[in-house]
Structure 1
């Protein structure tokens, strides 16, 4: 190496995101007599990993080389060929780009030179430590000493940056929850009240909360195991109907419960498989086409406003499904959930009890428009009915006369959901849901619901969201004579659900959402006085 360091007149050729050959006369005070000669002009190659410095250069990946012949843009006729060859073979401090190039004709900074010099010093120290001191000549040492003096400021700055990065890395490793698992959380505090002639006196202002912890684990980088823990103390308002129920209302009776337990993994490029073990819903298999309002913590303040109620129909929570990508714009999702999949002695198990099966075609021709066509088939045992947690009492079909004559309910439900982002700050969407139900032994019934949604993302500030929802929660619209004979009549009138909210994003992790829900003719009966639910939801995410 003395033939290179001892006659150093040109600055090194770096492979550090950028590469270069530059004049070194400012350092040595001399200029080579013949810059084309490898014997009288010397190129020094240094390498240092880009991740060790907070320097933004190029993103090209580097690769260690064992022979200069691996560099496609370095030829034996090049003036620095012998210098590079010696550095590769003797010191191993040359790297190239992934495409097999060296790119030795680019400019560099003094900091980049210092980075390369630091790498060379480290390598020589390694040789000395390992007992190979003879490989380093006295001339090399003299040249390096001069360079260290000239670049003392840059070397100190470089080492300071490396020390800082090492400290940060140690802190990250010390505070990392797990190498495979990410911990996330959401906490909601809500102050709520209900106002109305009939219900106002029966209800008081409440302060309630819900907390969720998510453990997101990946074993391959493409799969996901989700485990969620829930705690909530929400008590429902005393109302004559399920209409207006808050989206984030959850009551775990003072204990922490296991919520979602799901594992999803891809098979090839087009198929994703889902295994749902607890607290699942048919919506977990597909896209509900309501991007701005579907989250209970940051979307609509009502349960109805989050998605078409038909997704909530089956009294089932464990099973499996898949998403199949038919093209870039079309996807087919399907799934099956059972109500007592884990119980081998009840006579039910995975296939003999309550269940729900879904199939949905989703069309997404652009990032502004999405359309979903949904079919759901469900079976509910006697007394369970079609409880979606929304809509009128009659639409639930779970009180079919006296308990001793209750019958299972089989249903076929159909939904159309759409959303169109008109501009970056306005999106219009909505859905229509229809259920054809049959109470076995009694007769048939029809249930309808619909909604129009208008979203105003980034309203007044990036991250904010304004929302308006107008619709009809599930309504029993028609019953056969057999159902009427046991007192199950259709809802007499129409109730409207009118909702408005504004989410203000205080920080990336804190949002405050005041909102109101107005229910006209509650329980689809104009004999009932309207009521209004007001809430202020504060959401913390971490």
Structure 2
């Protein structure tokens, strides 16, 4: 049997930073619940076992002689356990007398509908049994003396309905059990007891055969309950809506002809004198997770949206969807309202402590650089604050990730992904001229340490290969570079940059010293080793650092809410700034203060007001401050 239930997860339109780890036992815990974090969700443990569901219509009679089971009349006096196969609860639908010679049958009642039985205390309660009936006294004894006879809810007995010897044996066994419980009392006469012993001896063969059939059915039922698992697909979703606006204290300088391109002149700086309009956008994630064994998971996530945050109005080339932009204020696909596959992979256990995820589109942020207080659903939620800004050039990709739970307090994660992201017009993993190793790809290793429940520490290293396009490296798929890099002033005439490797190191922690206070932070350092096109010679290193520190207030004003305040520097160039065609600014250092508060209205609805204060935007120390506000609603189903 298959079942479909009602999920969700996470994306980004061009410069994603953090993902949802969805994180909970897969089919039991709702990762969308308030306060859930990627750390709270075991990767595969706790998959819900499906009910085995034996077919209740397959009765004992059908197993014995292939005939439909008639409706029961005789009661055992006590019911079998739920789901059990005790034959007494499947007793025959006709009267039982005290001797075989007294049994007579007529045309069988053709009705086989399942009716509940009704207990009677006197034979006169049967509307179809009269004192003139030849079996009246026998029925009276069974009902009034032994209480082992039941009728139908409409107060009928249906005494003319036929029964087989097996059915009679089952009914006889029911009454014998009642009589056995009455032995030694004055309710059973010696004559009755002798008659019953005679019947028991006459039907001994049938009773033994019936018992063996019951034993076989019970064994088969136990085996089915222990091994049966039906494929199950769970459907869940979340819809985000955003109302956003912003303003500055004056004209803003930004590099490049627009937020996506640097233009032919690498020194081009544009001045933005206007303010962005108030915008409204939405994003939806639909997850369909399927399990075939109860321990595995086929991950399929769909995404569509049409959001563009006002902060992008101020950004330099290569900084689209970075500062002041809530992670879910995006379009999700290549174009607004495109329906795209965001995740497609298969996760399964290898032994007791290792989990593998293999597929053409794995979500990197599901496994790496998570943090309790920067989880994009519940915590600090901008692209810059929900994850390290230099840590990964491949948001989703083709490859594999392994998670090893070494001990209860230590885990090791390793993954290789080649670029395959839903919002890009190109994906090198599927390109026959580049494949898994010729284009952009990353090899990541992370050690997670949890010495006690309230503290998490993560140490991460990423080795990246960054593909050059048009002699440039940068944009949404070139971290640790923020912006665009070329081969230096005047270098474009000889072909610009070739594919270049990069190294990124990151440390990430969260700590909850008390139930009402949390601390969190990150620090990363990245170095890109730039190589010249044509020759492949190394030109130099572009080096930068970033950091974030913040405080969180769980359950502020309401259980399940979370307030965060954080300070961060997304991209501080420490060396090789001459290679930046966009991103260096005038040598200043952009700084940000972010305040967010998630307030759950119900289990399925939440609002998240956020405020972003951007100083030295685009790394121009001459830029005035920018203020951005956003109101997000979250609807889970």
TM-score tier by shorter-chain length is 0.5 to 0.7
Q: Deviations over 1:105-154 (max 9, x none)?
A: xxxxxxxxx9xxxxx989999x968852254359949979xxxxxxxxxx
The yes-or-no answer on 1:293 pairing with 2:328 is no
2:313 aligned residue (238, 254, 257): 238
2:465 aligned residue (376, 379, 385): 379
Shift of 1:232: 1.0
1:498 aligned residue (567, 587, 593): 593
2:354 aligned residue (271, 277, 291): 271
Shift of 1:283: 2.6
Residue 509 of structure 1: aligned partner: 604
What CA distance in whole angstroms lies between the structure 2 residues aligned with 1:222 and 1:140? 47
Alignment of 1:181-260 (within 5 A): 181-196=233-248, 197-198=250-251, 201-236=274-309, 237-241=312-316, 242=319, 243-251=323-331, 252=333, 253=335, 254-260=337-343
Number of aligned residue pairs: give it.
399
The yes-or-no answer on 1:311 pairing with 2:391 is yes
Q: Any idea what SS the aligned residue of 1:317 has?
A: strand
What CA distance in whole angstroms lies between the structure 2 residues aligned with 1:457 and 1:91? 58
Residue 405 of structure 1: aligned partner: 496
Task: Structure 2: state its 5+ residue gaps.
Answer: 1-75, 91-118, 120-147, 180-229, 252-271, 420-426, 533-538
User: For the structure 1 residues 47 and 142, does the alpha-carbon distance in structure 2 shift closer, same or farther, using more than 3 Å as the test?
Assistant: closer
What CA distance in whole angstroms lies between the structure 2 residues aligned with 1:249 and 1:276? 27
The yes-or-no answer on 1:355 pairing with 2:441 is yes
The yes-or-no answer on 1:132 pairing with 2:173 is no
The yes-or-no answer on 1:462 pairing with 2:559 is yes
Shift of 1:277: 1.6
What CA distance in whole angstroms lies between the structure 1 residues aligned with 2:81 and 2:406? 45
Alignment of 1:428-443 (within 5 A): 428-441=519-532, 442-443=539-540
User: For the structure 1 residues 389 and 517, does the alpha-carbon distance in structure 2 shift closer, same or farther, using more than 3 Å as the test?
Assistant: farther
Residue 158 of structure 1: aligned partner: none
Q: Any idea what SS the aligned residue of 1:350 has?
A: helix
TM-score, scaled relative to structure 2: 0.57
**RMSD over equivalenced CA pairs, Å:** 3.6
The yes-or-no answer on 1:261 pairing with 2:352 is no
Question: Contact 1:382 / 1:406 at 8 angstroms: preserved in 2?
Answer: yes
- Rg: which structure is higher? 2
What CA distance in whole angstroms lies between the structure 2 residues aligned with 1:121 and 1:324? 62
1:366 aligned residue (452, 456, 479): 452
1:48 aligned residue (74, 78, 81): 81
Q: Deviations over 1:27-78 (max 9, x none)?
A: xxxxxxxxxxxxxxxx9664322xx8xxxxxxxxxx88xxxxxxxxxxxxxx
Question: Contact 1:476 / 1:491 at 8 angstroms: preserved in 2?
Answer: no
What CA distance in whole angstroms lies between the structure 2 residues aligned with 1:502 and 1:445? 36
Question: Contact 2:518 / 2:553 at 8 angstroms: preserved in 1?
Answer: yes
Task: Structure 1: state its 5+ residue gaps.
Answer: 1-42, 53-62, 65-87, 94-113, 115-119, 145-177
Shift of 1:284: 2.9
Q: Deviations over 1:327-376 (max 9, x none)?
A: 12111100001124643532x11122211110111101222111011100
Higher relative contact order, structure no. (Cα contacts within 8 Å, ≥ 6 residues apart): 2
Residue 617 of structure 2: aligned partner: 522
Question: Contact 1:304 / 1:390 at 8 angstroms: preserved in 2?
Answer: no
What CA distance in whole angstroms lies between the structure 2 residues aligned with 1:214 and 1:489? 39
TM-score, scaled relative to structure 1: 0.66
What CA distance in whole angstroms lies between the structure 2 residues aligned with 1:342 and 1:354? 8
What CA distance in whole angstroms lies between the structure 2 residues aligned with 1:184 and 1:407? 43
Shift of 1:490: 8.0
Question: Contact 1:289 / 1:419 at 8 angstroms: preserved in 2?
Answer: no
